[in-house]
Amino acid sequence: MEPSDVPVIAIDGPAGSGKSTVARRLARRLSLQYLDTGAMYRAVAFAAIRQGLDPVDVGPVAALATTIDLVVADGDVVVDGVDASVEIRGPEVSRAVSVVAANPEVREEMRTRQRVWAVEHRGGVIEGRDIGTVVFPDALLKVYLTADPAVRAARRAKEMTDLEYDTVAADIARRDAADQGRSDSPLVEADDAVTVDTTGLEIDEVVEVIAGMVEERLADRDAAR
């Protein structure tokens, strides 16, 4: 079976656009599996720090990415048998992750793992930055979530209770620039993505809108068979 044979709903967008909450609830609503690909890049950054590597050392970090045992499921992340679910959201990993995610060999390895995951789980809701543009160009539905930068920063600040709004806003602006500016699969909207601006919307409204689109596409696909 190929990745294009399984139904993938790609949810891309910048930090704080609501991707994780929307993707997780959408998966539950549609009885599909959910994959957070940002957590995979965070896990590689975590493993690099833990092994004393400098995240900017492209070769060693790439070698590490190909050898680590990585399990991402239901919000839990286990790296080589160590539960990293909490640490991967901490400031140290958040600072290091953009440079790790800009490493082309790390990206290639993560993409391969994401495609294997999709086939093994018979599709799913997959969130990230390059899911619709690069990893699953044949996704059943591609959604690009956006929101006002101030709203995105406020959401992230609420999630990370130990950090001030200004710190979070600066971190988001820095990561937006890094994610959009990197040469390998930068954050861009796919030509055939549906944009949803979540600024003034409740999460459940966003989930319902997307679920409706998925059901329509599935019905069209079944009718065409």
Contacts to ligand DC by CB under 6 A = 15, 37-38, 41-42, 97-98, 101, 128-131, 175, 179
Q: 3 vs 128, which CB is nearer to ligand DC? A: 128
Q: 65 vs 131, which CB is nearer to ligand DC? A: 131
| Least distance from ligand DC to the Cβ atom of residue 163, Å | 14
Q: 151 vs 218, which CB is nearer to ligand DC? A: 151
Q: 87 vs 179, which CB is nearer to ligand DC? A: 179
Q: 177 vs 219, which CB is nearer to ligand DC? A: 177
| Least distance from ligand DC to the Cβ atom of residue 179, Å | 5
Q: What's the chain's length in residues?
A: 225
- Ramachandran area for residue 74 (φ above 0: left; ψ -120 to 50: alpha; else beta): left
| Least distance from ligand DC to the Cβ atom of residue 133, Å | 10
Answer yes or no: are the C-beta atoms of 18 and 159 closer than 8 Å: no
| Least distance from ligand DC to the Cβ atom of residue 41, Å | 4
Answer yes or no: are the C-beta atoms of 128 and 186 closer than 8 Å: no
Answer yes or no: are the C-beta atoms of 131 and 118 closer than 8 Å: no
| Least distance from ligand DC to the Cβ atom of residue 36, Å | 7
Answer yes or no: are the C-beta atoms of 206 and 196 closer than 8 Å: yes
Q: 106 vs 223, which CB is nearer to ligand DC? A: 106
| Least distance from ligand DC to the Cβ atom of residue 52, Å | 21
Q: What are phi and psi of 10, to 5 degrees?
A: -95, 125
Q: What are phi and psi of 8, to 5 degrees?
A: -115, 130
| Least distance from ligand DC to the Cβ atom of residue 96, Å | 10
Q: 6 vs 37, which CB is nearer to ligand DC? A: 37
